[in-house]
Structure 1
Amino acid sequence: MDVGSAEQTVVHFPQGLPGFEELTRFFLCERDGLWPLTLLVAVDTADVALPLLRSGEFLTDYLPSIPASDLRALDAKGAEDLDLFVVVTFDRDSGSISANLMAPICMNRARRLGRQVVLADGAYPLQYSLLPVCE
């Protein structure tokens, strides 16, 4: 993957990500050709890159409550210290595009810490269709 012109600030995910626990260092690839998506790329293997959508870009009503334990783990005083992203999935068979609102990627970029937070309150779905948002 060519990420030569991308901003490459490494963010440490101490627990990794679900399914990629062994990968703890990632960077955001934010390029004009990808907008509105951002890629979360593993430093140690470019074979792992997750498409993300910044939560405030299109999902303006998405305001998850981040648990205090996760704020502490991210060395954040409050949600205002965090950048929130949702993982986007593309289903080739159905053509659907969805976002995982149940488990946002939270990053304290000032401290270069990140984690995927699984929200236990059930307020947001695992698969939220983005097609109505994009139309």
Structure 2
Amino acid sequence: MARKEITIQSRLGERTVDSSRIIHFPKGLIGLENRHDFALLKIREDSPFMLLQCLKDPKLGLLVTDPFAFLDDYEIQIGDAEQRILRIENIRQLAILVTVTIPPGKPGEAVLNLTGPICVNSKSRIGLQVPQTDPRFPSHYALTPAPAPEQ
């Protein structure tokens, strides 16, 4: 079967995406409930960060990463209802992403949002944001430790 590629406009410029790689979010994302189709774009080959680009809005792209690249002990809870929406047969089908915030001009102050992971069924390409409440994993997890106060 021939692959179908589509050209999209993104925050990174024009990109070509294999249509079989489009991720459909039946419920959208938190705050973006009316946006359902996204593509995951590499920023650079050697970067742990990717852009979750909305197909309908070139200005709407969320910086995301695999949290396990930064945290060995990160855990999320996924309920039965979420598992049904994601259509997972096995938990290993899931790719987990978290959003990244980098303040303008301050890359050293980048933070991960560990309370709103984005789960993607890598087989069916269905995505769902699954809010978490575990206090061990905050909404602003600093990628670099804060400097110690001067004494």
Change in Cα spacing, 1:131 to 1:3, as seen in structure 2 (3 Å) is farther
Aligned alpha-carbon RMSD (Å): 2.1
1:34–1:62 Cα change, 3 Å: same
State the TM-score, normalizing by the size of structure 1: 0.85
Alpha carbons of structure 1 residues 68 and 121: separation in structure 2 relative to 1, 3 Å = farther
State the SS of the aligned residue for 2:15.
coil
Structure with bigger gyration radius? 2
Match of 2:94 in 1: 82
Distance 1:35 1:63 in 2: 23
Stretches of structure 1 that go unaligned for 5 or more consecutive residues are none
Q: What whole-Å deviation, never above 9, does each CA across 1:9-67 have from its counterpart, x for those lacking one? A: 11100111111111100010024257110110001111100000112222222122222
Please name the residue that 2:103 is paired with.
91
* Structure 1 residue 117 displacement after superposition: 0.5
What is the CA distance between 1:83 and its match in structure 2?
0.1
Residue 5 of structure 1, CA deviation: 5.5
Residue 10 of structure 1 corresponds to: 22
State the match for 1:127 in structure 2. Answer: 140
How far off its partner does 1:3 sit?
4.5
CA distance, structure 2, for counterparts of residue 6 and residue 30 of structure 1: 11
SS of residue paired to 1:61: coil
Contact kept, 8 Å, 2:110 with 2:144, in 1: the verdict is: yes
- 1:51 and 1:7, CA in 2 relative to 1: closer, same or farther beyond 3 A? farther
Aligned residues, how many? 132
Are residues 1:73 and 2:73 paired? no
Gaps of 5+ in 2: 1-9, 146-151
Q: CA deviation at 1:115?
A: 0.9
